[in-house]
A and B are shown apart, each in its own frame.
Chain A
Amino acid sequence: EDQVTQSPEALRLQEGESSSLNCSYTVSGLRGLFWYRQDPGKGPEFLFTLYSAGEEKEKERLKATLTKKESFLHITAPKPEDSATYLCAVRANYGGSQGNLIFGKGTKLSVKP
């Protein structure tokens, strides 16, 4: 069964304290791993898509990496405005060209000033 597991469930950091969020996945034929940011009461905001092991993408203080079994979202010197829930999702090798995403439960990040 295709599955996405994120850890930790919650993470509290001090401003400037770098850390990583983990996303482990099992899927029959990965067609993309996605990272989203979700603020309370809002829809997910797209951050990155990774397609193959070894791929890395960066955006400001965030860097996403991918292996054959997991992905990491590295946060360097976070600021309070980075506080949000970060969601990981995978697109499996079925569902046609518009296949749906399978989401993890997310990691709630809190950054204290």
Chain B
Amino acid sequence: GAVVSQHPSWVICKSGTSVKIECRSLDFQATTMFWYRQFPKQSLMLMATSNEGSKATYEQGVEKDKFLINHASLTLSTLTVTSAHPEDSSFYICSARPGDSYGYTFGSGTRLTVV
């Protein structure tokens, strides 16, 4: 079945540093990938839609300069949290859809802790 691989699964970084999270579609091409953020006991909130070869579309309230998204190929999208602060600590999840007849497939998530 369709697999989305996300790395790292967890990361701890110091305030002010940047962290890159990778999302790969392993057995299908994904022209579009979605990046979500999830706080404890909260639903997944869409941050941005990543489009291969073009700029990402950000949801209202999400800082473009803080959450940099690059979708350079049909199988890889990256999310870089720049100048991270403790309030950026969260669970980040990517998603893609292999095709119209498939459900959305999610990565395993990345737990980011900023200290």
Residues of A at the B interface (CB closer than 8 Å) are 4, 34, 36, 41-46, 48-49, 87, 89, 95, 97-98, 100-106
Contact = CB atoms under 8 A, between A and B. Distances in A.
A95 B91 CA distance: 24
Nearest to A48: B103
Contact of A41 (B44, B100, B111): B111
B93 A44 contact: yes
Interface of B: 4, 6, 31-32, 34, 41-46, 49, 91, 93, 95, 97, 100, 103-109, 111
A49 B4 CA distance: 18
A44 B36 CA distance: 11
The 3 closest A-B CB pairs, nearest first, are A43-B106, A98-B32, A46-B103
A102 B106 CA distance: 14
Contacts of B105: 46
Given A41-B109, A43-B109, A97 B44 contact: no
Contacts of B106: 36, 43-46
Contacts of A43: 4, 6, 93, 95, 106-109
